[in-house]
Amino acid sequence: MVKLCVNIDHIATVRQVRLAEEPDPVAAAVICELAGAEGITVHLREDRRHIQDRDLYVLKKTVKTKLNLEMALTNEIVNIALDVKPDMVTFVPEKRKELTTEGGLNVIANKTALKKAIKKLHDKGIIVSLFIDPDIDQIHVSRVLKADYVELHTGKYADSKNEKTKDRELAKLQKAGSSVIKAGLRLNAGHGLDYRNVIPIASIPGVEDLNIGYSIIARAVFVGLDKAVREMKRLI
């Protein structure tokens, strides 16, 4: 069964625009879970543009399903993860100026630092996922690094401007998905998924968690968060 993990970063984005107390991502997490989400995902960015440290600590105490922390490979954030102990950590690349995570993590270039961080997280019982592009070399190194999961970056597929590129990007994801499973890794996917493009990704054999944020929160502005989550659940 494919699971929906709702990324609630942009609830915090709205709050941070006014440096106010509302809307509270913790309340959002409760609504998502009541609507059937199987996980809650947040990205604690180095610049703290949306989720704050306190959110993460409170979410750890309140989330009943599964808490997945997306994070950059830096000592500061790894130490926070070791302290909070979310159920899962997903390493992502991070650039200060980007609007959202732009590409997959280059696990080959970051092999040594990742190996150390993965060991520390595993020692605390935290599951580790690596957010990568659908690339066979990145998959092989993820296996060597003993990651538990890889999350395939669906951004290029989601942003395709025409059917031909979309089909090509989908084929790459399907092929990479099968390599991930053959390598003995577990498979997640996400980025840019919405109500129109999610079904082919949810149909990739072996895919477990779909991490979806922006489209759900955007729809929630009009139809409410409960309904937005239920509609996505029904699709996947």
Residue 190 binds ligand PXP, judged by CB under 6 A: yes
- Catalytic choice (10, 38, 43, 94): 43
Distance CA 101, CA 91 (A): 11
Residue 101 binds ligand PXP, judged by CB under 6 A: yes
83's torsion region: left (phi>0), alpha (psi -120 to 50) or beta?
A: alpha
Phi, psi of 43 (to 5 degrees): -115, 110
Q: Which stretch binds ligand PXP (CB under 6 A): 19-27, 173-181, 184-192, 219-227?
A: 184-192
Residue 70 binds ligand PXP, judged by CB under 6 A: yes
**Smallest separation, CB 109 to ligand PXP (Å):** 18
Of residues 44, 211, 219, 225, which one binds ligand PXP by CB under 6 A? Answer: 211
Q: Which stretch binds ligand PXP (CB under 6 A): 21-29, 49-57, 72-80, 207-215?
A: 207-215
Residue 91 binds ligand PXP, judged by CB under 6 A: no
Residue 177 binds ligand PXP, judged by CB under 6 A: no
Distance CA 147, CA 208 (A): 15
Distance CA 175, CA 100 (A): 25
Q: Judge whether 57 and 23 are in contact, CB under 8 Å.
A: no
Lookup result for tokens 């190194």: 141
Distance CA 95, CA 114 (A): 18
Residues binding ligand PXP (CB under 6 A): 7, 9, 43, 70, 90, 92, 100-101, 131, 151, 190-193, 211-215
Active site residues: 43, 70, 191
